[in-house]
Amino acid sequence: MNTLLLDRTTWDILPDASGNMAVASGSYAICQNVASAIRVFSGECYYNTASGLPYRQHILAHAQAASVFRMQVAQAAGGVAGVAAAQCVLTGISANRQLSGYVLVSTTLGDVHNVGF
């Protein structure tokens, strides 16, 4: 599986050494796609409005159980091609209410990775 390589800071596409669009493959591509899947707001993807998390509808500025959020993240990650299993782990919330954690991703390639947020 291949996907366009994204800059880790800006989440924008990158050129390769030849000036073409850089491509990620293997487990890295799967993990990058998981990170993208959990960043997407419901309805945001023009060609697939069913994908994404309901951030506006149920998560941001709404009281929601942590277990429901973990389930939503794991479900979004599990829908990514190449993911065999996904588990969301919440590690904390900062003073400015920024939630942190990671998704433990088992790939169909047999690898296990943490995808942080």
pLDDT tens-digit profile of 18-42? 999 999 999 999 999 999 999 999 9
Average pLDDT along the chain: 93
Find the helix or strand (DSSP H, E) in which 20 lies.
none
Structure tokens that stand for 59 in this block: 């998560």
Structure tokens that stand for 3 in this block: 């996907």
Q: Supply φ then ψ for residue 37, to 5 degrees.
A: -60, -35
Read off the pTM. Answer: 0.87
Please say whether the beta carbons of 85 and 77 come within 8 A. no
Domain assignments of the chain as residue spans, ordered by start: 2-82
Angle at 82 between CA 28 and CA 76, to 5 degrees: 95
Structure tokens that stand for 31 in this block: 């993990």
By percentage, how much of the chain surpasses pLDDT 90?
74
Residue type, 66: A
